[in-house]
Chain A
Amino acid sequence: MEFLANCGTQIGFLGAVLSVALACAGSGRGVGLVGEAAAGVLSEDPNKFSQCLILQIIPGTQGLYGLVIWFFAMMKMGFFAGAMPNLTIAQGLGFLAAGLCMGIGGMITAVAQGRCAAAGVALIAKRPEEMSKGLIMAIMVEFYAILCLLASFLMINSMGVV
């Protein structure tokens, strides 16, 4: 019972970890999807490497956003100050909620963006001059990851240094 009453810090950490872990898992999957499609195109025409690479890194940003939120949450919790932070359960749940926002949003948008960018790779295979349009289609998805990043960030920002 005593542990349950004092696990606020751990719940906060869980939020931070879920933010980076879920977003990175999604980004990994998304980048992988594009990579598979790109390798197929490159087997026909290796000159399209740089174009494919640009499309491949696009779904990678969600993982980075997850890391940003992780970092920011850990900083707000006072983790980098040296001592182990001591949060109440309510505070911990706040960080958990904020972390989940980025984590879930990042994971799902990254996979969706990966699919979209993989289709963009197919576009490059046929009409390399239309790459910018494929890029734009994929970037449209990015906006929703940015909204998640923003929501998470504003929540953590308003929590005040513990």
Chain B
Amino acid sequence: MAIVKMKRLRLIALDQDRAALLSRLQHLGCVEIGEAEGKLVDPEWAALLRRDSSSSSEVKTQLAGVQHALEALRKYAPTKKSLFQKRSLMSEQAFLDADALASSLQIANTIGETLAELTRLNTRENRLLNTKAGLLPWTSLHYPLNQLSTEHVRVTLGVCPAVVSLEALTQALSEAAPLSALTPLSQDRDQHYLLLMYHLSESEAVDEVLKSFAFSNTQFKDLTGTAADEIQRIDRELADIATQREAAEAHIASFAENRSALQHSFDRLTQDLSRETACEHLLTNGTIVFLEGWAAATGLDRLEQELTGFSCAYALEDPTLEETPPTLLKNPKWMSCINMVTEMYSLPKYHGGIDPNPLIFGFYIIFFGFMFADIGYGIILMAISLLITNKYHPKNTMGYMFHLGIYLGFSAMIFGFVTGSFFGDAIPVFSSTFLGKDIALPYLLNPLSNPMTVLVFAICMGIVQLIFGQCVYIYMKFRDGDPWEGILKVVPWWILFAGIAIMALKGTAAGIWVGVVALILTQGRHKKGILGKLMGGVASLYDVTAWLSDVLSYSRLMALMLSGSVIASVMNILGALPGNIIVFMVVFVLGHVFNIGVNIIGTYVHAARLQYLEFFGKFYEEGGIPFRPLSYRTKFIDITEEET
């Protein structure tokens, strides 16, 4: 229920123990290894130690290989895609098994070679297709392509642009070189494909003419047969490539059963990589390594016990105020799902911050339920969340999301009983349309007929939360040894609010004036000079508008509650209009799926926004850096807890 205390850890160990030490730290998962490089700026440190090297590039290569293999399997041996990965369980010992890794790497290697083979085949295919496209215009020529000329006659193939008039070319040729013949073979949008024969004695004259008609020679150096022969040969080769490719793809697909082994090695290598990366933060002189970082107080016992197994010296110190330790929030498991809301905003500062999770947990769930109020919607949300949580055990943000969904669904259901809505007004509409009876759920408060009461409720909840936020502020100031700051900042406002309340109930404005005077006297306390203090106090009266907008902001609770039930009831009316039960069912399902979809996102965001802007604005010190210990972070496998 608090921000976990951090200790600065400085540790010197033998270089030979480095790998084992890092493995154990990763197993513990409660030490964040920081950048010790800053130390090297100091010449005395730099004279003794240097940055440690690591074999991270090697691990990265292996990891990339496994990744490619997994992608190839996804492509050539696709499995049914499910939204959630079901993680497999594995003991730490099995997870770290070296033989399993070696055999997976072997497989990844084979798949990688086959992928390279596929790339080669594709390159060859492209080249052949290009050659074939170049040959197609010449198919009407029944002579071998590279031995056309004779002793006295030069025979060339060539192209000229389609805009050139062939008649003019023939004319010009026959005038300049009577012993020449031009045969057009084919033509496409861009070019004429031509066969030209001329006597060698006239070659200069021919060249002259050809230049002026932008004629260019086409040569086929490596092709010995006729164009048609060559195309046939290429087609045979292409067919051959296709079979080879199929074989290669089948070869990759045959490794489908090794998918989980590859996933295992992917996770394993990711852990190795994070260890190697941590290694780069160490300083060494060849015999010892120096490690600096943060250790979470929750794991200190286990850490110290673990370190007794190594020949090492270490110091654990409380952080000074100048240092910025990372923030880790510790809450009971049933409450930790609200982390999702906190993390999306910002973690609290380590110094002077407060763990917001217990503070917003209740408010968030109540606000969400208030806006989403519907028995049917609540049950659906709760059921889906329960199902996914129990079946797939999602981790981290996903896990938080569905865990939170259970609470949110329950809360929406409770508020649904208050407003008497079950898929909006589905029951009254259905019964009056199809059963001819008027059945309605009992309710305490109908938002559609009585929106003003809902608005008053919403505003009241807002005021409660804002005042609570101020109380938290006072608590924080007391905790940090500055109680007067907390009291002076908050209490004058309370006097003003009390005055407003008295004004509303009794009609006497005296209380308000007391509040105003209290604000003027106190709110400028940080300014210099009597005049400055007074001016600051007067200026603080302007904050009344900020309070007004904060309080009115809670009217969104009413707005979203109403809009949800309005859309729901419109869907019901729309479905019931034709008086056909099948049409009703179709419209009912589509309409309510839409309404749930739009509402759930909107409600989630607005419930969160009320915490972030209105509530946190009263006390929160954000800007904490998340604690990222060296630990196992896996994607496919859950490592079961066991002490070794």
Chain A residues with CB under 8 Å of chain B are: 61, 64-65, 68, 71-72, 75, 80, 132-133, 135-136, 139-140, 142-143, 146-147, 149-150, 153-154, 157
> What is the bound-complex CA distance between A72 and B577, given in angstroms?
12
Main secondary structure on B side of the interface with A = helix
Least CB distance from B419 to A in Å reads 16
Please tell me if the beta carbons of A154 and B451 are within 8 angstroms of each other in the complex: yes
Top 3 nearest A-B pairs by Cβ distance?
A: A146-B563, A139-B605, A68-B570
**B609: chain A residues within 8 A (beta carbon):** 140
**A132: chain B residues within 8 A (beta carbon):** 344
Q: Which of B204-212, B285-293, B554-562 contacts A (4 or more CB under 8 A)?
A: B554-562
Least CB distance from B591 to A in Å reads 10
Please tell me if the beta carbons of A68 and B566 are within 8 angstroms of each other in the complex: yes
With contacts A80-B577, A143-B606, A154-B451 taken as known, whether A135 is within 8 angstroms of B601 at the C-beta atoms is yes
**B606: chain A residues within 8 A (beta carbon):** 143
Say if the beta carbon of B102 comes within 8 Å of chain A.
no
Please tell me if the beta carbons of A139 and B602 are within 8 angstroms of each other in the complex: yes
> What is the bound-complex CA distance between A75 and B609, given in angstroms?
36
Tally of A-B Cβ pairs under 8 angstroms: 45
Type the 1/0 row for B538-556, where 1 means its CB is closer than 8 Å to any CB of A.
Answer: 0000000000000000001
Say if the beta carbon of B598 comes within 8 Å of chain A.
yes
> What is the bound-complex CA distance between A155 and B367, given in angstroms?
26
Please tell me if the beta carbons of B563 and A136 are within 8 angstroms of each other in the complex: no
Please tell me if the beta carbons of A146 and B570 are within 8 angstroms of each other in the complex: no
Least CB distance from A53 to B in Å reads 13
Known: A65-B567, A142-B598. 16 other contacts (CB 8 A): A61-B598, A68-B566, A68-B567, A68-B570, A132-B344, A133-B344, A136-B344, A143-B556, A143-B559, A143-B602, A146-B560, A147-B559, A150-B562, A154-B451, A154-B562, A157-B448
* Residue in contact with A139 in the complex, picked from B448, B563, B570, B601, CB distance below 8 Å: B601
> What is the bound-complex CA distance between A139 and B344, given in angstroms?
15
Say if the beta carbon of B573 comes within 8 Å of chain A.
yes
Please tell me if the beta carbons of A150 and B566 are within 8 angstroms of each other in the complex: yes
> What is the bound-complex CA distance between A96 and B577, given in angstroms?
24
B268-309 at interface with A (beta carbon < 8 Å): none
> What is the bound-complex CA distance between A150 and B560, given in angstroms?
9
Please tell me if the beta carbons of B559 and A150 are within 8 angstroms of each other in the complex: yes
Least CB distance from B64 to A in Å reads 19
CB-nearest residue of chain B to A136: B605
**A149: chain B residues within 8 A (beta carbon):** 563, 566
**B577: chain A residues within 8 A (beta carbon):** 80
**A75: chain B residues within 8 A (beta carbon):** 573
